[in-house]
Amino acid sequence: ILQEASVIGRGFLYEILQRITELKDRIDGELSHLERLDLIRTRSLQPDLEYMFKHALTQEVVYNGLLKKDRREIHEQIALVMETVFQNRLPEFYEALAFHFKRGRSIIKAVDYLIRSGEKSLARYSVEESHQYFMEAFDLLSNKPDRTKDEDAQLIELLIKWSWVYYYRGDFLEQVNLLSAHKDLAESLDDRAILEMFYAWYGFSTYCGPATREKYKNSYEYLRMALEIGDEIEDQKIIGHACSWFPWVCSELGALDEAILYGERAQEICKNNPTEHYLFFKSLGGIGCAYSFKGNGKKAFELGTSILDYGQKHSNIRGMVVGHWLKGIGFLNAGDFPSAIEAAKKAIQTAKDPFYSQFPKLILGLAFAQNGQFQEAEETLEELSAYCRDFGCEIHGTYTHAFFGLVSIAKGRMGHGLKMIEEALKVCHENQRRWAFASIEHALGLVYLQIVEKSNPVSLTTMAKNIGFILKNVPTAAKKAVEHFNRAIEVAKEIGAKGIEGQAYLDLGHLHKLKGRRDQARDCFSKAIKIFEECEAEIYLKKANKALESLQ
């Protein structure tokens, strides 16, 4: 009896032991005898009678005294009995069932319960614990010799479910590598539903993950294939996931109206699936992102508020993070940098997942920089940059690189900062990130405008450290500023990014004014005013009106 109990664990339930023991008629007397010997003690009487070994070492010694084949048989019996006894309470025992089946004879059942344990941990925001369960399941199944077709399908389903953990963990480098290594296997299966979700995750992880040429077009293509299969087999849930991820990819490619349409389709699916909280806040967040790229900060703010309210109503922390984040973007669009800082801080403070605690730092760092808080901006962007580098999160890494360059210039590291911005611009061009390209072109225009303005006093020490940069760039600063602003305006017009277009016109107007080109300045300020009126960007509108009045 003591040996059988040792296999159950240091703590063991009476009912389980009573069902597996070969000494059923002697169990009560023997347990009392073991208590008198001070080897075990009663742990609890309710809701189930439970004993435990008084010392862990005793349990370990007794367990190791069993032959391996006997241990394996008892583990299997324990797991099978637990499935029967606790059939109405199985989620409470997923971890124990996985433990015993793994050490018994049923590897496939062990994999199943490890996956369930991982999903259970993820639901309570224990991301690292969840990752360990999935890793254990993957190791068991991927190393199983002579896998059947059904087991191959189970392996791909495991990767699909594990992808949620990778996503919230923010480890896109490893996720992309893992999915890439199993893409051929997924495509060899005769299961369209599995392939659809695999393609959807492959597309979205490619969007989030490491920099590769045309990664966003590739991401779009895999999401398109997923959606095509979903429409073919009429799987609304998986269609919803593809449509909730499409807006983010489309926005980066500059297809802003298309982004909104996909998000709205996902929202329609949510109406018939009210428990799919992720679909709701992810698709609505994608719509908000597209509106913010258009320059409609007010709409982004409204959608962020809706997501935040939804998250609070359903106690969904992840939704609350996205809500705070999107409100921060709305404030950025409006030029209200202090409010953007507060919203981003709330998002970070609310987050419980590694990835969700990281991505709001991009908004926080940019808002700090635009508010003139360069030290805070540098510290924030350094943290985010390290994360992006270590985990292959290029979607934020390129922006971080560009913003870090702006901060470096503001802090006197001019050549280094300019190089960082130009590197980010090159990556955006290669990957056809058209909104980001326009945004960084505008940022480069601002760099050269500030050189022309000499708006930031430069110390002799800073001048000495940057003499090469000054000699190379000061003589042509005005010309370069015009070129960058015009490219930003051109691309922004093509994709409907009114916010960037308006800001670029405003800054180009300042440049023309500095150079005495008053008519051109007036034209730029007037265009900026019209755009900011359309976007309801009141702070920028006031700046543009004031600039126009200065020409009177």
pLDDT, tens only, 160-187: 999 999 999 999 999 999 999 999 999 9
- Regarding predicted confidence, which is higher, 45 or 518? 518
Separation of alpha carbons 445 and 422, rounded Å: 12
Q: Is 157 a residue whose pLDDT tops 80?
A: yes
Find the range with the poorest average confidence among 14-23, 102-111, 268-277, 386-395: 14-23
Describe the crossing of helices 277-294 and 498-514 by its angle, rounded to 10 degrees.
Answer: 30
- Regarding predicted confidence, which is higher, 161 or 66? 161
Residue 530 host element (H or E): helix 518-535
User: What is the pLDDT at residue 458?
Assistant: 47
Separation of alpha carbons 382 and 388, rounded Å: 10
Separation of alpha carbons 389 and 88, rounded Å: 46
Separation of alpha carbons 301 and 298, rounded Å: 5
Asked if 163 contacts 205 with a C-beta cutoff of 8 angstroms, the reply is yes
Number of H helices, E strands in the chain: 30, 3
Token pair recorded at residue 61: 């010694």
Separation of alpha carbons 494 and 496, rounded Å: 6
User: What is the pLDDT at residue 476?
Assistant: 84
Average pLDDT over all residues of the chain: 92
Q: Give 68's contacts (C-beta < 8 A, 6+ positions apart).
A: none
Describe the crossing of helices 127-142 and 107-123 by its angle, rounded to 10 degrees.
Answer: 160
Q: What average pLDDT score do residues 192-214 get? A: 93
Q: What average pLDDT score do residues 271-283 get? A: 94
Find the range with the poorest average confidence among 30-39, 201-210, 294-303: 30-39
Predicted confidence band at 28 (pLDDT cuts at 50, 70, 90)?
confident
Partner residues linked to 423 by β-bridges: none
Q: Is 460 a residue whose pLDDT tops 50?
A: no
Rg (CA), the chain: 30
Report the percent of the chain where pLDDT is more than 70.
96
Give the tens place of pLDDT for each residue, 111-155.
Answer: 999 999 999 999 999 999 999 999 999 999 999 998 999 999 999
User: What is the pLDDT at residue 322?
Assistant: 98
106 in any annotated domain: no
Separation of alpha carbons 227 and 221, rounded Å: 10
Partner residues linked to 52 by β-bridges: 11, 41
Token pair recorded at residue 322: 């996205």
How many domains in the chain? Answer: 1
Token pair recorded at residue 19: 């069902």
User: What is the pLDDT at residue 470?
Assistant: 60
- Pairing between strand 11-13 and 40-44? unpaired
Predicted confidence band at 504 (pLDDT cuts at 50, 70, 90)?
very high
Asked if 197 contacts 238 with a C-beta cutoff of 8 angstroms, the reply is yes
- The structure tokens 């290669």 sit at 430
Separation of alpha carbons 304 and 277, rounded Å: 15
Separation of alpha carbons 146 and 157, rounded Å: 18
Q: Is 404 a residue whose pLDDT tops 50?
A: yes
Predicted TM-score of the model (pTM): 0.88
CATH of the domain at 537: 1.25.40.10
Q: What average pLDDT score do residues 188-202 get? A: 95
Separation of alpha carbons 71 and 104, rounded Å: 8
453 in any annotated domain: yes
Q: Cis before residue 47, ω within 30 degrees of 0?
A: yes
Which has the closest alpha carbon to 537: 336, 290, 312, 363? 336
Please give the single-letter amino acid code of residue 539: I
Token pair recorded at residue 478: 């005005």
306 in any annotated domain: no
Residue 498 host element (H or E): helix 498-514
User: What is the pLDDT at residue 472?
Assistant: 65
171 in any annotated domain: no
- The structure tokens 């009663």 sit at 42
Residue 409 host element (H or E): helix 394-410
CA atoms within 13 A on the CB side of 433: 28
Separation of alpha carbons 122 and 451, rounded Å: 50
**Is residue 373 classed as helix, strand or coil in its secondary structure?**
coil
**In which order are the strands placed within the sheet that holds 11-13?**
11-13, 50-53, 40-44
User: What is the pLDDT at residue 467?
Assistant: 62
Separation of alpha carbons 431 and 480, rounded Å: 24
User: In a 10 Å sphere around its CB, with 0-12 CB exposed, 13-18 middle and 19+ buried, how is residue 362 labelled?
Assistant: buried
User: What is the pLDDT at residue 261?
Assistant: 98
Q: Is 108 a residue whose pLDDT tops 80?
A: yes
Which has the closest alpha carbon to 328: 310, 351, 305, 357? 305
User: What is the pLDDT at residue 315?
Assistant: 96
- Residue 147 is given by DSSP the state -
491 in any annotated domain: yes
535 in any annotated domain: yes
484 in any annotated domain: yes
Q: What average pLDDT score do residues 399-421 get? A: 89
Q: Give 109's contacts (C-beta < 8 A, 6+ positions apart).
A: 79, 97, 101
Asked if 195 contacts 412 with a C-beta cutoff of 8 angstroms, the reply is no
Separation of alpha carbons 552 and 547, rounded Å: 10
Please give the single-letter amino acid code of residue 382: E
User: What is the pLDDT at residue 473?
Assistant: 64
Q: Is 258 a residue whose pLDDT tops 90?
A: yes
Domain range for 474: 439-549
- The structure tokens 């909280």 sit at 277
Q: What average pLDDT score do residues 25-49 get? A: 86
**Is residue 411 classed as helix, strand or coil in its secondary structure?**
coil
Partner residues linked to 44 by β-bridges: 50
Instruction: List b or e across 466-475, with b for residues whose CB sees 16 or more CB atoms inside 10 angstroms.
Output: beebbeebee
Asked if 378 contacts 192 with a C-beta cutoff of 8 angstroms, the reply is no
User: What is the pLDDT at residue 420?
Assistant: 93
99 in any annotated domain: no
